[in-house]
Structure 1
Amino acid sequence: MGRADADPDDIAFADSHAAHGNFRAWAQLTAHTRTALARTGRPRADRELLRWAFSRLA
């Protein structure tokens, strides 16, 4: 996430379900999302990947 090609609906989904406009939460979510993208080889985040990242947040 954070790339120019990120789906605006997925950004809103992530904010409403996990980040809540909080910079620290967004930083953690971004780090977990990048890890998941690297592990799965997916070119961009989708709702399934985001849900996994949500589960990793403290």
Structure 2
Amino acid sequence: MIPLFHPVWADADPEDIAFADQHAAHGNFRAWAQLTAHTRTAHTRTALARTGRPRVDQELLRWAFSRLA
């Protein structure tokens, strides 16, 4: 379901989605919305560009987790 929720998750590795759910979203769609807002920020896009990563991965997810309230 999450890959259909937002393009940032569309090509994410299923293991990374499970990691995000386990560590931040906990099966809660509101938490997924908050996490998605942080993973699609300019900072994340900049981090992806600087690292040459094609998509969100666990390292970038950890960064996003640190910004969640």
| TM-score normalized by the length of structure 1 | 0.70
The alpha-carbon deviation at position 32 of structure 1 amounts to: 8.1
Query: What CA RMSD, in Å, does the superposition of the two structures yield over aligned residues?
Result: 2.8
Task: Give the total of aligned pairs.
Answer: 55
Deviating more after overlay: 14-23 vs 25-34: 25-34
By relative contact order (CA 8 Å, sep 6+), the higher-ranking structure is 1
Runs of at least 5 residues in structure 1 that lack an aligned partner in the other structure: none
Alpha-carbon separation, structure 2, partners of 1:35 and 1:25: 23
Distance 1:44 1:8, change over 3 A: same
Percent pairwise identity? 93
Distance 1:40 1:27, change over 3 A: farther
Alpha-carbon separation, structure 1, partners of 2:34 and 2:45: 10
Deviating more after overlay: 30-39 vs 4-13: 30-39
Distance 1:27 1:36, change over 3 A: farther
1:27 is matched with: 33
| TM-score normalized by the length of structure 2 | 0.60
Q: 1:37·1:45 contact (CA, 8 Å) conserved in 2?
A: yes
Distance 1:34 1:57, change over 3 A: farther
